[in-house]
Structure 1
Amino acid sequence: MFSLKGQKALVVGIANQQSIAWGVAQALRAQGAELAVTWLNEKAERFVRPLAEELGAEIAGPLDVSHPGEMEAIFAEITEKWGRLDTLLHSIAFSPKDDLHGRVVDCSAEGFGLAMDVSVHSFLRMIRLAEPLMGAGGCCLSVSFFGSTRVVENYNMMGPVKAALESVTRYAAAELGEKGIRVHALSPGPLATRAASGIAHFDDMMAEAAARAPTHHLATIEDIGAMAAFLASPEAKNLTGGIHEIDGGYSITA
């Protein structure tokens, strides 16, 4: 029904073949988009570079948002090689382990600030760098979780952090809408990713979600990729500011 042929997309957050960002990257590429792909550091490069090559990524390199200059370097290369950007996917989050595993009321100011910087403010910084490259409009996507609006056992500090991410998604959508730049958050239910492995008893959470969801199926990275590709398409040009739940209906259950 739609095509992304000729589009230029930056995908940030691939760690391996179980990553949400990998599912999105595959879907964007399948619809014809040309890709730029990043990896976190040298340790991650050996896993991500072969995936970037499989996707035929024209631009690939390191991006740790806590390292000054790395984000600017990727966008400078995009500017030089492409001169524009149509789609941005921000699929990264971080919390210090001690803060993540403790009570929200006990989290440290330093840990909370770091989680907010990596998980939320870095999305704003990416949007700011993408804005001048989206002269013809574009789509900026982040990844959230329903723990942003509900208390999810063991999700702890990341709940408030994801709530902030969803809020900045709405504000950025309102501010950039007149330029044709749409901003969305993808909100899947629990699924097995490297990031999720840091959450205590996550397997139990997935089993409960599958049992309670009307479809009785957890979301897959392919499901998330399909939604992302649609939102990036011209057919979705009048959609913005959405928090898109991709969870088999789990979020509608009591």
Structure 2
Amino acid sequence: MFSLTGTKALVVGVANDQSIAWGCAKALRAQGAELAITYLNDKAEPHVRPLAERLGAELILPLDVAQPGQLEAVFEAITDRWGRLDTLLHSIAYAPREDLHGRVVDCSAQGFALAMDISVHSFLRMIRLAEPLMPDGGTCLSVSFFGSSRVVRHYNMMGPVKAALESTVRYAAAELGEKGISVHALSPGPLQTRAASGIDHFDELLNAAASRAAMHQLATIEDVGAMAAFLASHEARHLTGGVHDIDGGFSITS
């Protein structure tokens, strides 16, 4: 129905073959996109590089957004190799463990600021660097969760952080729309990923979500990838600013 052949996509956040970013990378590549894929650090590289090579990624680069200069180096490499970018996929989030596992009202100022910087402001920094590489338009995607708008037990401080991310998506979409750049948040229900394993009692949340969802099953990283690929396509050019639920109806039930 649609093709991404010839487009260039940067995927940030692949950690292993269970990552949401991996599901998105697979879908983008299946539709013809050429990929740049990042890995967090030397420890992560052996897990990410073979996956990136499996998809024929043209660029495989280190990226820790907390390290000065690394993000700029990624975009310099993209500029040198491609001279443009069509799709940006941001799928990273972080909160210090002691703040994540405590009450929201008890989280430290330092922990909250760090979570906001890595989980939200890094997306803005990426969009800012991507904008000049998208003269004919493009798509910027991030990943959110239902806990942004509803209180989810044990999700704690990541709820306010994801709420900020979704608001960021709307404002960025309004500011960049006239340039043909769309901005979206993908919002899958609970998924068994390495990042999610840091949330207390996450297995309970998975089981409860599967039983509550209208379809009585959870979405997969492939489902999230399919939505990402569609939003990156020309056919979705008039969609922007959305938070797209990919959760089998989990978010519509009480």
Partner of 1:90: 90
TM-score normalized by the length of structure 2: 1.00
Give runs of aligned pairs for residues 203-222 of structure 1, distance below 5 A: 203-222=203-222
Residue by residue over 1:26-84, the C-alpha shift from the partner in whole angstroms, topping out at 9 and shown as x without a partner, is: 00000000000000000000000001100100011100000000000000000011000
Q: Give 3-state SS (helix, strand or coil) of 1:71's partner.
A: helix
Residue equivalent to 1:165:
165
Q: Once the 2 structures are TM-superposed, how far is the Cα of residue 119 of structure 1 from its aligned partner?
A: 0.1
Give, in whole Å, the separation in 2 of the partners of 1:220 and 1:52.
20
Structure 1 Cα separation of the partners of residues 173 and 24 of structure 2: 20
Q: Give the letter aligned to residue 114 of structure 2.
A: L
Partner SS state of residue 150, structure 1: coil
In structure 2, what is the equivalent of residue 43 of structure 1? 43
Q: What stretches of structure 2 of length at least 5 have no aligned partner?
A: none
Task: Give the equivalent residue in structure 2 for 1:61.
Answer: 61
Task: Name the aligned partner's letter for residue 164 of structure 1.
Answer: A
Alpha-carbon separation, structure 2, partners of 1:213 and 1:100: 25
Report the secondary structure of 1:67's partner residue: coil
User: Which residue of the partner structure matches residue 118 of structure 1?
Assistant: 118
What pairs with 1:63-82 in structure 2 (closer than 5 Å)? 63-82=63-82
**RMSD across aligned positions (CA):** 0.3
SS at 2:43 equivalent: helix
Alignment of 1:104 with 2:99, yes or no, is no
Between the aligned partners of 2:168 and 2:191, the Cα distance in structure 1 is 24
The AA in structure 2 aligned to 1:53 is E
Provide the rounded CA distance (Å) in 1 between the counterparts of 2:200 and 2:104: 15
Give the number of aligned pairs.
254
CA distance in 2, matches of 1:219, 1:204: 16
Could you list the per-position Cα deviations for residues 6-31 of structure 1 after superposition, in whole angstroms to 9, with x for gaps in the alignment? 00000000000000000000000000
Opposite residue 172 of structure 1, the aligned amino acid is A
CA distance in 1, matches of 2:93, 2:81: 28
Match of 1:42, SS?
coil
**In structure 2, how many angstroms separate the alpha carbons of the residues matched to 1:214 and 1:104?**
30
Secondary structure at 2:191 match in 1: coil
One-letter identity of the residue aligned with 2:9: A
TM-score normalized by structure 1?
1.00
| Structure 2 CA distance for aligned equivalents of residues 131 and 60 of structure 1 | 21
C-alpha displacement at 1:195, in angstroms?
0.3
TM-superposed deviation, 1:208 = 0.5
Q: Is 2:242 the partner of 1:250?
A: no
Task: Name the aligned partner's letter for residue 165 of structure 2.
Answer: L
Q: Partner residue of 2:191?
A: 191
Distance across 1 between alignment mates of 2:52 and 2:208: 34
Q: Tell me what 2:137 maps to.
A: 137
Segments ≥4 residues shifted beyond 2 Å: none
Runs (5+) with no aligned partner, structure 1: none
| Matched AA of 1:147 | G
Q: Percent identity?
A: 77
CA distance in 2, matches of 1:40, 1:111: 20
For residue 155 of structure 1, report the CA deviation from its aligned partner. Answer: 0.2
- 1:140-184 CA-to-partner distances (Å, cap 9, x unmatched) read 000000000000000000000000000000000000000000000
Q: Deviation per CA, 1:113-139: give whole Å up to 9, x if none.
A: 000000000000000000000001000
